[in-house]
């Protein structure tokens, strides 16, 4: 069982997490949702297209201008409160690694803290426990926030997948020991974070091993560099590669999908679910007339 906010998600239910960037310099939308009204329009569209979770971020993942904790909170806290007021049943996630920001957004109504940098601030899990929020435990290969991988390698037994299993498992168990609800803890292999393209492809190929741990698996695949490098495509031409990776991840047992394109992702997930026998066809007339 996965329980976030007021929502409970069944064992075979795929969950879409829509990205809403409150940054002026995100790699994908270049600040399209930095201002409040476009961002609220984005939430409305994402919810109408089937997103159950809205993931709000105030700092882009890559290098760039410094964003202090105070500025990150300014970009996110009031917006979280407004989303909670307008959409009381939507699950609100905030993409942050800082415990100060985590505390402020939980006070404003956030249900989930998406720690994409793998526990670099260990107090973030304590905040999640204190507020009854969920927590995403991500493998980032020991990378510091907002840095790009450089000659990264995983030379131990089992390579990158063994490291992902070890780190995410340790973070998840620590979160549970601190009081974070077990049914609110997710693990994320951290595609692109502290990884080369080959590492991210291997993590995808072995995703069933993560799902086999029993922790719900979140994947953040949308338009990422490993998709672009694999197909030699720029950011705006990575949708097909993203959707192919989404289908494979769904077949291998991922549960939550952090995405830019909600409607397209929903169709892929519904198709995979129907092939797997977990969802009936929306219409089944062929051969019956």
DSSP string, 242-278: HHHHHHHHHHTT--EEEES-HHHHHHHHHHHHHHTTS
Rounded to the nearest integer, the mean pLDDT of the chain is 96
C-beta neighbour count of 229 within 10 angstroms: 17
Q: How far is CA 289 from CA 229, 280, 283, 284, 285, in A?
A: 48, 19, 13, 11, 7
Residue 31 has pLDDT above 90, yes or no: no
pLDDT the model gives residue 115: 98
Residues 247 and 134: their CA atoms lie apart, in Å, by 25
83-107 residue pLDDT tens? 999 999 999 999 999 999 999 999 9
Residues 179 and 167: their CA atoms lie apart, in Å, by 19
Residues 42 and 55: their CA atoms lie apart, in Å, by 11
The CATH number given to 15-275 is 3.20.20.20
Residue 29 has pLDDT above 80, yes or no: no
Query: Which residues, other chains included, contact 134 with Cβ-Cβ below 8 Å and sequence gap of 6+?
Result: 3, 4, 93, 111, 112, 113, 128, 180, 181, 184, 185, 186
Q: How far is CA 222 from CA 16, 53, 55, 235, 269, in A?
A: 12, 15, 13, 10, 14
221-278 residue pLDDT tens? 999 999 999 999 999 999 999 999 999 999 999 999 999 999 999 999 999 999 999 9
Residues 265/259, Cβ–Cβ less than 8 Å: yes
Q: Where are the domains of the chain?
A: 15-275
173-229 residue pLDDT tens? 999 999 999 999 999 999 999 999 999 999 999 999 999 999 999 999 999 999 999
pLDDT the model gives residue 28: 73
pLDDT the model gives residue 136: 98
């Amino acid at each position: 069982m996965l329980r976030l906010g007021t929502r409970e998600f069944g064992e075979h239910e795929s969950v879409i997490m829509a990205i809403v960037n409150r940054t002026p310099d995100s790699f994908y939308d270049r600040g399209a949702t930095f201002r409040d009204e476009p961002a609220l329009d984005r939430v409305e569209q994402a919810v109408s297209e089937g997103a159950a979770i809205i993931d709000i971020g105030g700092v882009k993942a890559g290098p760039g201008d410094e964003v202090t904790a105070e500025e990150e909170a300014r970009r996110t806290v009031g917006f979280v409160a407004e989303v909670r007021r307008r959409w009381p049943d939507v699950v609100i996630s905030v993409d942050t690694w800082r415990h100060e920001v985590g505390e402020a957004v939980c006070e404003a109504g956030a249900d989930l803290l998406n720690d994409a940098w793998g526990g670099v601030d260990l107090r973030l899990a304590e905040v999640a426990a204190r507020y009854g929020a969920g927590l995403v435990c991500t493998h980032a290969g020991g990378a510091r926030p907002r840095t790009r991988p450089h000659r990264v390698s995983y030379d131990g037994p089992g390579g990158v997948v063994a490291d992902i299993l070890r780190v995410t498992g340790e973070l998840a168990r620590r979160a549970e020991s601190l009081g974070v609800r077990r049914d609110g803890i997710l693990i994320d292999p951290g595609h692109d974070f502290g990884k080369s393209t080959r590492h991210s492809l291997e993590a995808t190929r072995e995703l069933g091993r993560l799902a086999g741990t029993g922790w719900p698996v979140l994947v953040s695949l949308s338009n990422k560099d490993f998709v672009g490098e694999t197909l030699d495509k720029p950011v705006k031409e990575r949708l097909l590669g993203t959707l192919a990776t989404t289908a494979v991840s769904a077949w291998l047992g991922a549960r939550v999908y952090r995405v830019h394109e909600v409607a397209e992702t929903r169709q892929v997930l519904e198709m995979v679910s129907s092939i797997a026998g977990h969802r009936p066809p929306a219409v089944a007339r062929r051969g019956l007339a």
